[in-house]
Amino acid sequence: MFLLWLRIAAGLYGVASLLAIPAVLGNRPRGHRYCLPVALGGWFFHLVASVEMLASAHHLIPVMADEIVSTLALAIVAVFLFVFFVYRTISFGLFALPLAFLLTVVPAIGPERYTFSSPMVRNGWIAFHVVMLMAAYAALLFSMLSSFLYLIQEKRLKGKDWAKAGVGTRVKTRPQGFLTWLPPLATMDQIARSTLMLGFFCMTAGLFAGSLIAQEQVGIRYFADPKVLASFVMWGLYVVILFIQRDTGLRGRRAAWLSSGVFVVMLCVLATNLLGSVHNSAHRFGLK
């Protein structure tokens, strides 16, 4: 019976994660109003599932890997709820709720593990996983390029690359030089922000699809692979960037260097993931 409660909790965590993104990054009051009750409901069902799971296993502390992962997710949401009720801030839900969902969804499948109905369905999920992660890398690349172009255009506009007409009076001027094709600063700033947000959604979807694929052959040991953990750390860093950009209005030189640094780290994570045990296992089982 505890699997039913755990699956309900995982579903509620997923909904709360979707509500937390606009609530925190978009600062929408409606998201605040609905996110917390959904997260609280998920934590309640999760608590019931954990008690029943440990009772059926005849021990009081988590021992098995799925029990440990599930309990960790329960503790993460509990701390998030504590922070909210004490400090009245929902910002940490941007980290806690998606992480709790990813940690809960695999134990919620059960000991039998989820199996795909056909190789075609499995290959479809693999393709979705790869496409989403590649889209995340591409989006971050565009964000980095937009930030650098913003920096170039800003420096150019602050210079003296303007034509003057008349004596001592500036009238109807226009920019001169090779870089006249650059769009306005506001346009490049909007592109950088939009592509960064798009990349976050793509990376989240890609990690979820990868978790679902890996658990079929690897099971809960998926979360023990250091390369997989590095991917989730990368996802957390992505959230930090979005959070900093929202609160500080980061742009210009700092935004360019921040995007560049994160892009380099993402490339390193991609390279190490290709050599990870999970991906090697997937290759042996024909998941390619």
pLDDT in tens, 189-206: 788 778 888 888 888 888
Regarding whether 76 and 40 lie in a shared domain, the answer is yes
In a domain, 169, yes or no: no
Collect all residues with Cβ–Cβ distance below 8 Å to 253 and sequence separation of at least 6. 151
In a domain, 174, yes or no: no
In a domain, 175, yes or no: no
In a domain, 170, yes or no: no
In a domain, 172, yes or no: no
Regarding whether 266 and 154 lie in a shared domain, the answer is yes
pTM over 0.85: no
Regarding whether 134 and 102 lie in a shared domain, the answer is no
Regarding whether 135 and 263 lie in a shared domain, the answer is yes
In a domain, 173, yes or no: no
Number of domains in the chain: 2
Structural domain boundaries enclosing 60: 1-112
Regarding whether 130 and 79 lie in a shared domain, the answer is no
Regarding whether 99 and 21 lie in a shared domain, the answer is yes
Regarding whether 92 and 51 lie in a shared domain, the answer is yes
SS (H, E, C) 209-234: HHHHHHHHHCHHHHHHCHHHHHHHHH
Unique residue bearing structure tokens 């979360």: 223
Regarding whether 152 and 98 lie in a shared domain, the answer is no
pLDDT at residue 43 above 90?
A: yes
pLDDT at residue 280 above 60?
A: no
Regarding whether 124 and 39 lie in a shared domain, the answer is no
Domain boundary among 73, 91, 112: 112
In a domain, 40, yes or no: yes
In a domain, 188, yes or no: yes
Regarding whether 280 and 247 lie in a shared domain, the answer is yes
More confident residue, 269 or 53: 53
State pLDDT tens for residues 65-123. Answer: 778 888 999 999 999 999 988 988 888 888 889 889 888 887 787 665 556 667 787 78
Regarding whether 54 and 152 lie in a shared domain, the answer is no
pLDDT score recorded for residue 171 = 45
Regarding whether 104 and 132 lie in a shared domain, the answer is no
More confident residue, 103 or 252: 103
pLDDT score recorded for residue 48 = 93
DSSP string, 162-220: B---SSS---S--B-SGGGGSPPHHHHHHHHHHHHHHHHHHHHHHHHHHHHHHHHHTGG
pLDDT score recorded for residue 238 = 76
State pLDDT tens for residues 204-220. Answer: 888 878 777 776 666 65
pLDDT at residue 263 above 90?
A: no
pLDDT score recorded for residue 179 = 59
State pLDDT tens for residues 127-184. Answer: 888 898 888 888 888 887 887 787 777 777 776 544 444 444 444 445 455 556 677 7
